[in-house]
Structure 1
Amino acid sequence: MDMASHPAVATAHAFAPAQRVRWAALADEAAEANAFYAPDMLGAALDHLAGDAHVRMVEAQRDGELIGLMPVVVASRHGRLPIGCVTNWMHDHCFFGAPLIRRGEEVAAWRALLGQLDEARWAQGFLHLRGLDAAGANAAALEALCVEQRRGRREVHRYDRAMLRSELDADAYWESQVRAKKRKELRRLQKRLAELGAVESRLLADRADLAAWCGEFLALEASGWKGREGTALACRAEDAAFFRAACAAALDHGRLHFLRMDLDGRAIAMLVNFRHGEGAFSFKIAFDEALGRFSPGVLIEIANLHAVQADSAIGWMDSCAAADHPMIDSLWAERRTITQYRIALKGPGRSAAFALANGVEALGRRLKGQE
């Protein structure tokens, strides 16, 4: 008998530190790794990025034990359609949206999560799930449950992005996956950069250095095109505060992977990754654009390859990059398929909203000659 249940939904700001301890226990047993919803990053996001978003934390329990957690918001539109819906919360710095579900409780957790949304008066339209791994535990459990319940489920969009997953060491991977011509050119750039001074790559190891490293990263990112376009973390106080808080929490729990490349002791490239479970997620990269002729962004990715492949605790790394990214796609051979789903909810008017969104989407494809 399925004894999964759910408590009343609470808004993000109602959660005390003790509640986040429960999330941490769930994250440790998650069937699918997601550093963005692990308490390190999720807690920092709720504290600094929620703003007026009115984030709700939907929890699923079995016999009092937390088996599922999904942050959601109500969106007033679905793409170009003026149809309200519920969607998993993905702020501007969140690049993966898989809810945390306890290993072995995947279907039960989703049964409770969807059941709670079915009953919630505030849950409009349907559930729009973004940023899922098409081959992940969440997608598989959702498909099984929707078939069982005869619940509508529609894939809205998918794309492939680079990831690193290989048993090869860094040198063997580099030789087998990167074209010889590109390897030769990058060796030339490494040699030319070394002619300017001492080049060193290192991982953050000392907690006492964290504040300085975060400050250097924020300044380095803001010095480039992101700063000019106003999208660098340092451009908004809340984004910078989120970054510092997430890095501190992750470091304290052994889940921060912060790499830098120095030239004569000055950071010319920095890369921040967050770990969860057996995997890791590449979060942000920054480099000195004045040294662009040496491709410091690519060079630190080479250093990152060596650091990751030398770490037995990291089984894979998601690039979190856009589709067809010209730089990382040329370095990492593996791909992860990221998808979005539209899931029907039960209740007055919701079936109509789900059918309307599907119908408009199908009509758009026909008009474009895609069907």
Structure 2
Amino acid sequence: MDMAAHPSPSAFPAPVTAYRTRWAALAQEAAEANAFYAPDMLGAALDHLAGDAAVHLLEARGDDGLIGLLPVVTRTRHGRLPIGCVSNWIHDHCFFGAPMIRRGRELAAWRDFMTQLDAAPWARGFLHLEALDAAGANAAAIEALCVEQRRGRREIHRYDRAMLRSDLDADSYWESQVRSKKRKELRRLQKRLAELGVVEQRLLTDPADLPLWCDAFLALEASGWKGAAGSALACKAGDSAFFRAACAAAIAARRLHFLRLDLDGRPIAMLVNFRHGEGGFSFKIAIDEALGRFSPGVLIEIANLHAVQGDPEIGWMDSCAAADHPMIDSLWAERRTIVQYRIALHGRGRVRLQRSAAFALANAAERLAQIVKGQG
């Protein structure tokens, strides 16, 4: 099912509720965890971040009902190339792009997604998929589908980012994975910080406290370099509304993992994680930069390590960090390989020719750029 581009939130409160009910059931059986496409975060993003973007919600169906959900958008450019394409919807606050697919129905769902895209008059060029796990269920299904249908597929980028996945308890993990010199330095910073006042680590447990925690996080993030650069959540009304709505929906669904480090009752570091299934996704961190000499960001990550490893419902956590992130890479030893794919779209007649040409042109431009870079 290809639903129309997403209209304004006020246009259809009832249908959205119905859609999210279906998505919630699908999310419980998902082959690959993705908090960003779970109904709480996706719904908040649709309500507050879609703007003028034509977000198409592809629902894959089988004889057993809804088996997949993939939000996509059309783009007029592909990187630096003036070539239109379709892409999974990765907004500014989305760090993983695996669609919701019922476990065991991955290939069938991707068949349906591609059938819909092949037939869609608005689907230009090719399908560009971002932020997938190279070892995940979706990547495997995409590869199998492209072989089955003789459909062009090209991996265009990959990188590794930090991940926490270990059966060790927090103390054992800390001792085995972090250099002794760094552990010693952090213990010194913790001692020095404690000399300034009462230091307390807190985990949000009461939903009634959420509005105040959101206020504190938004203010703390905006007080630093992100606020000065205009990239803090509080700098845009839509971003802050998305954050509040996503947190509210997630805590109601028991998916929110919100930490803070206080000094004499005021937050000096805060960390927001969103959960889905047995997995967690580290979303945003905010620190008091005036206390930067005490490394509050690292100290709250230590608290996060203990909270995650001490929670039997969290099996792993994706840092959602950039490649080669100096802070989290030094604390978490595991890695997750994130990939992008370019996938050919089929069709009929002239449309198929245009799509084939766009796919070939993008591949040729990429090969040429690699050659030029190699010669340089």
Which residue identity lines up with residue 206 of structure 1 in the other structure?
D
Matched, 1:51 2:56: no
| Partner Cα distance (2:358, 2:242) in 1 | 35
Number of the residue aligned with 1:3:
none
In structure 2, the CA distance between the partners of 1:62 and 1:179, relative to structure 1 (3 Å rule), is: same
1:9 to 3, 11, 23: 3
In structure 2, the CA distance between the partners of 1:226 and 1:62, relative to structure 1 (3 Å rule), is: same
Displacement after TM superposition at 1:9 (Å): 2.8
Number of the residue aligned with 2:366:
361
Number of the residue aligned with 1:158:
158
Displacement after TM superposition at 1:370 (Å): 7.4
| Partner Cα distance (1:235, 1:97) in 2 | 25
| Partner Cα distance (1:80, 1:364) in 2 | 11
Q: Secondary structure at the match of 1:10?
A: coil
Which residue identity lines up with residue 92 of structure 2 in the other structure?
D
8 Å CA contact 2:44, 2:245 repeated in 1: yes
Displacement after TM superposition at 1:64 (Å): 5.8
| Partner Cα distance (1:183, 1:38) in 2 | 36
Per-residue CA shift, 1:20-59, capped at 9, x if unaligned? Answer: 1001111111000000000110000000000001111011
| Partner Cα distance (1:238, 1:298) in 2 | 29
In structure 2, the CA distance between the partners of 1:167 and 1:355, relative to structure 1 (3 Å rule), is: same
TM-score (structure 2 length as normaliser): 0.96
Number of the residue aligned with 2:66:
66
Number of the residue aligned with 1:201:
201
Matched, 1:285 2:285: yes
Per-residue CA shift, 1:49-105, capped at 9, x if unaligned? Answer: 000011110110012611011100000000111000000001100000111111000
Written as runs of structure 1 = structure 2, the 5 A alignment for 1:138-217 is: 138-217=138-217
Q: Secondary structure at the match of 1:358?
A: helix
Written as runs of structure 1 = structure 2, the 5 A alignment for 1:125-144 is: 125-144=125-144
Which residue identity lines up with residue 218 of structure 2 in the other structure?
L
Displacement after TM superposition at 1:11 (Å): 2.2
Number of the residue aligned with 1:297:
297
Q: How many residues are treated as equivalent by the alignment?
A: 365
Question: Which aligned segments of 4 or more residues in structure 1 are displaced greater than 6 angstroms?
Answer: none
In structure 2, the CA distance between the partners of 1:83 and 1:213, relative to structure 1 (3 Å rule), is: same
TM-score (structure 1 length as normaliser): 0.97
Displacement after TM superposition at 1:364 (Å): 1.1
Which residue identity lines up with residue 185 of structure 2 in the other structure?
E
| Partner Cα distance (1:213, 1:8) in 2 | 38
Where structure 1 has 5 or more consecutive residues not aligned to the other structure, the ranges are 1-6
Displacement after TM superposition at 1:198 (Å): 0.8
Q: Secondary structure at the match of 1:368?
A: helix
Written as runs of structure 1 = structure 2, the 5 A alignment for 1:50-129 is: 50-63=50-63, 65-129=65-129
RMSD, matched Cα? 1.1
Where structure 2 has 5 or more consecutive residues not aligned to the other structure, the ranges are none
8 Å CA contact 1:10, 1:58 repeated in 2: no
Number of the residue aligned with 1:221:
221
